[in-house]
Every structure is written in C-alpha cells, then in structure tokens.
Amino acid sequence: MKQNISITAQQSNKWNANIDKGSVSIKKVQYGVCLADKKERSTMHRQPCWYIRTVADKATNKTMGVPIHSPGASIPTNQKLPFSQYCDAWLAVRKTTCKQSTYCKYQSMLMRYILPYFGKQSPLHFNNIQIAAYTQELLHEKHLAPKTVKDILIVLRSILHYTAKQFPDNLPALDIVFPKESKKELRVLTKEEQSKLTAYLLQDMDACKFGVLLAMFTGIRLGELCALKWEHISFSENTVHIVATLQRLPNVMDTTSENFTEQKKVPLRAHKTKVVIDTPKSETSLRVIPLTEMIVTLCNRMYNKQNDTYILTNTKQYMEPRTLQYRFQKYLAACNLSDVHFHTLRHTFATRCVEAGFEIKSLSEILGHATTTITLNRYVHASLELKRENMNKLSAMQFGADIQWQEK
C-alpha cells in the first residue's frame, strides 16, 4: 500500500508529518529518528520515512511508534553526520525488539564508553588502528575486564553493521578483535563448606536465610531469587516456577524522549539507577525446578499463606540484590568462608549434581541453559575427590586375565 508523507520543521529539531496511508490519513505525528540535516528533511515531501511516533503514542508513553517502510525506502544520509546519530537510530530500533533490562545496558554502554570516544566523529573516518587503540584504552586505562570490553565491542560492531547499510560503498571494512578472556577456576564450595553454611542458615532461620538455602539447592540466580514470590511455589507438585528476575539498572537517558537534548547536558552520575522486574535473561530461563524433600519441608515452615508476597521478605516489598549480597557476606563471615560470591552457590549446585550422577540434559534445563555445552563448560567443576574416585574405578577394572607383577 502506497504511503505519502510530508514533513515540516518545528522548533528544537522536532518534526511534524502528515501521513496518507491508502484512504486513511494520520495527522500530527512526531518524527522520531531521521538521519538527515534540516535541508535534507525539508525536501522529504512524499518520501518514505523510517520511524515516526504519533502524538497519541507520546501521550500514552508508548515506545513503539508507527514504522513506515515502503518498497525501496531508505534512511536519508549525510556523510557529515556524527556517529552519535547512528547510535541513536540503532538504539531506537533495539528498543522495540529487546527486553527493558537489555535496553538499559545498551544505553549505559553507549553513554559511558562508546559515545565519549566515537560520538562526534563520522563513521567514514573510522579505521582498524583506531578500534585497536580504543580496545587497549578500555583494558589498560579504564581497567575493564576482558568480558566487559568484549560486550562493548559487540555493541559497537552491531552499530557499525547497521551504519554500513547507509553507506554500502563508502564505509571502510573494520576488523574488530575481541580481547582474550583468561579462563580462571571458579570457586565451588567443598562438601564440608557447604554443610557448614547449611547448618548456619538453618540455625535461627529467617526468610532471607531460607532464600539462600533455596538458591544453594536449586541453582537459581540472584535476580531470580529476589523476584521470587510464594505464588511461584507449587506445593501440590513440589516445584518452583522461575518466571521473573529483578535487577537494579542504570536509569540513563531515553533517546526517544523530547528532552533528550537537555538530558545530555546532565552528568551521567546524576542519573539514578532503577529497579526492573522483567522476564529472565532467555526463554530457556523460564523453567520449572523440582524441589528436594528438605526444601519442601522448609517451604512449608516458612510459608506465610500470602501468595503475593516475596519469599525473601515475606512481605509485598522485594529485597534488592545488593541487600541480599550484603547479608550473604555476613553469613559467610560467620562461617569463616572466604572468596565466595552468591553465584558460587550456582556453581556448587551444578557440581554436586554432576557428582551425584545427574543426566546433563536434565541439569541444563534446571539451570536454564540453552545448550548442554554451556552447562559443561561454565558450571561443572569436577572436584579432586571426584577425579580420584574415577581414577580408582579405572584401576579396579581388569582387562582380560589378571596381571601379576613379579620382581625379577
């Protein structure tokens, strides 16, 4: 269906448009993201528009506007445009396709690490030496972990791929090399340490201590535990349903907001964080975990008969991850356990399951992994005791006739 669009300039770089879509006329729409300067925009009468948002959408605070894509439509480009405008356009697209938590992380990466370095430059002037120098700056001057640098470079690469579509013949080919991540041994509680911590948590157990026990014997993540309510526990099936995760994320600027230009003038540190309760990190993280008899017994003891309350507080107020981590460290100090993080409980759970002979596919589903490879490579850590036990099994095997060693 043919779409006719006329765009007129407004104040503060705002643009209004009239759209005729077949026999339907949509008037007074706000132009969302357009990669063109004022002169180019003023000549865009009846040209395809990439993204717009109606006044009604704005009033209801909708993030998805009215996308207009006609055959052969393209985003108007200007070789003098700074890279920051392409970042804004890329982020606007991502906002309609990714989770809120992911979107916040993209915003934070852009504002903290990408825009300060590349924002004012034209993407036509980027080169491999510059990208390599940027990588080294993140590693050695910003002192970021290789994994964090890799995540930033992945976002940068995605934006460059998006930008390249606007310059099919001019944008230089860039080779982004990810830093090597040193594979370090992850901490796993020994059986003695786990027993010691379990005994401490059972003593004078409250809702928070119970939550830590639940994580240790189910392998659920920190954010998943903070979002867990009693309504997610099935007492008839003795299972826990993981349906949400709670995170505190940077409350950075919204590039689709009318006040985005003014927001840019505010220092990043002035933007507060916010708590976001969203679906887990992936579809496979939505899962049902069977509970052991011990955990079911503890659930019955702690259940307050109010399904809409959070397990960690037994109230309708959630407990933040950083609060839970603070209390967890106090529990560890009381048990004289060092070099332990909350995620150590997840590693420990996976390791105990392997030692007990769990089938890897079942374990992978309990942990919420997309593939068994992730389970094996990241979370399964064979203890020295298990290795020795397996070697003893091997030495006990007899291949053919007994071999008698005789000294000569």
| Cα(207)–Cα(316) distance, integer angstroms | 13
- Phi and psi at 301, nearest 5°, equal -70, -40
Distance CA 99, CA 223 (A): 15
3-class secondary structure, 20: strand
Residues 6+ apart with CB under 8 A from 147: 181
> What pLDDT, on a 0 to 100 scale, did the predictor assign at position 70?
32
Any idea which residue has 């059972």 for tokens?
202
Distance CA 64, CA 78 (A): 25
Q: Which residues contact 184 (CB under 8 A, 6 or more apart)?
A: none
CATH node for 191-244+279-388: 1.10.443.10
Write the DSSP string, 383-401: -HHHHHHHHHHHHH---SS
Question: Which is nearest to 278 in space by CA: 324, 236, 245?
Answer: 245
* pLDDT tens digit at each of 408 positions of the chain: 444 444 444 444 444 554 444 444 444 444 343 333 333 333 333 333 333 444 444 444 333 333 333 333 344 455 668 899 889 989 988 888 888 888 888 998 999 999 999 999 988 889 999 999 999 999 999 999 999 999 999 999 999 998 888 776 677 788 899 998 877 777 899 999 999 999 999 999 999 999 999 999 999 999 999 999 999 999 999 999 999 999 888 776 554 444 444 444 444 444 578 888 888 877 888 999 999 999 999 999 999 889 999 999 999 999 999 999 999 999 999 999 999 999 999 999 998 988 888 888 999 999 998 888 888 877 666 656 666 777 777 666 655 445 454 444
For domain 83-164, give the fold. DNA polymerase; domain 1 (1.10.150)
DSSP H or E stretch at residue 211? helix 207-216
CA–CA dist 98, 279 (Å, integer) = 11
- Residue 92: helix, strand or coil by DSSP? helix
Residue 107: burial class (beta carbons within 10 Å; 0-12, 13-18, 19+): buried
Q: What pLDDT score was predicted for residue 175? A: 87
Beta pairing, strands 245-250 & 239-242: unpaired
Angle at 43 between CA 41 and CA 48, to 5 degrees: 70
Q: Which of 95, 121, 118 is nearest to 107 (CA)?
A: 95
- CA atoms of 311 and 401, how far apart (whole Å): 60
C-alpha to C-alpha distance for 114 and 25, rounded to whole angstroms: 40
Q: Where are the domains of the chain?
A: 3-67, 83-164, 191-244+279-388
Q: Please report, to the nearest 10 degrees, the dihedral formed by the alpha carbons of residues 133, 139, 145, 146 taken in order.
A: 40
pLDDT at 30: 40
Asked if 16 contacts 28 with a C-beta cutoff of 8 angstroms, the reply is yes
User: CA 355, CA 351: separation in Å to the nearest integer?
Assistant: 6
pTM, 2 dp: 0.67
pLDDT recorded at residue 98: 85
Token duo for residue 145: 């972990």
Structure tokens at 398: 């007899």
Per the CB < 8 A criterion, the answer to whether 263 and 285 are in contact is no
